[in-house]
Amino acid sequence: MRTHQDDRYAMFHINRRISWFAKRLGIYPDGSRFGVKPLKEAVRNAKTPTEVYDLLNEFEAGGLRGGWFDANSIYQDSMHESPNA
């Protein structure tokens, strides 16, 4: 995209379509899913294509994962803690 248009155009479309792109990134080989909300929010807040590339590299390294899957498990864990602990 950057070879045919400028960076502003590329960033506009990445920000518009990150939810569609990220949906396909959050799947393990066995078909189960993991949350990608931190990646989506970071890409939406990125100002330059270089930042987006850095974020994608971080995601590939195992970072920028989570979302409601993790939040739900944290909530469930807190429900089982005793109030006097």
The per-residue pLDDT for range 48-61, each reduced to its tens digit, is 999 999 999 999 89
pTM over cut 0.95: no
> What letter does residue 65 receive in the DSSP assignment?
-
The residues near 15 (Cβ < 8 Å, ≥ 6 apart) are: 43, 44
Q: How many CB atoms lie within 10 A of CB 74?
A: 11
Higher pLDDT, residue 79 or 5: 5
Examine the pLDDT at 72 and tell me if it is beyond 50: no
